[in-house]
Amino acid sequence: MPRAVANRRAAREDNDPNYPQFAPDDDLHERARAKGDAMTAPLMPENAPAAPRDYTSAQLLDAVMASLDDDKAEEIVQIDLRGRSSMGDYMVIASGRSTRQVASIAEKLADRLKQDFSILCKMEGREAADWVLIDTGDIIVHIFRPEVREFYQLEKMWMPGAPGPDKFR
């Protein structure tokens, strides 16, 4: 915005008695919460406990493995990360024969986990579908095209006995 326009606007706002003037109101949000205003009330109380889960990470792993098998994923490998990484309990690596199959496997897995466990998965790489990462919270799922999987070789880094990322520090 040109300086002259900004100066005229500022002068008008400061001098116009009809222009709404807003004073800081520290009490505004507290009053809105007391009224139950949905726009300002917190969605969850600050110290609310997390909703209890009615499944274990092992049950979730079984569902992931079954879904991958149902959708004809190839070379499915599961890696136990407990005690090795804080990012999850398990990692699953699988391959699809084409970008279309990789995308389909990922979409169906996310849909099944949402339906069966009420989990909204975080997903990366769905558009290109060379490598799709699905984060369920407890399980990290990597679905690759075979050439991309061969290039990155995640199994070599994460399999038991292999140097994990914490050993590179």
Q: What is the DSSP letter of 75?
A: E
pLDDT (tens place) for every residue of the chain, 169 residues total: 555 545 555 555 556 555 555 454 555 556 655 665 555 445 555 555 555 578 888 899 999 999 999 999 999 999 998 888 888 889 999 999 999 999 999 999 999 999 999 889 899 988 888 999 999 988 999 999 999 999 999 888 887 765 555 544 4
Q: Are 106 and 57 in contact (CB under 8 A)?
A: no
Smallest CA-to-CA distance from 154 within 74, 77, 71 is with 77
Q: Bridge partners of 124?
A: 133
The three-state secondary structure class of 50 is: coil
Q: How far apart are CA 41 and CA 32, in angstroms?
A: 7
Please report the domains of the chain, with CATH numbers, ordered by start residue: 57-159 (3.30.460.10)
Length in residues, the chain: 169
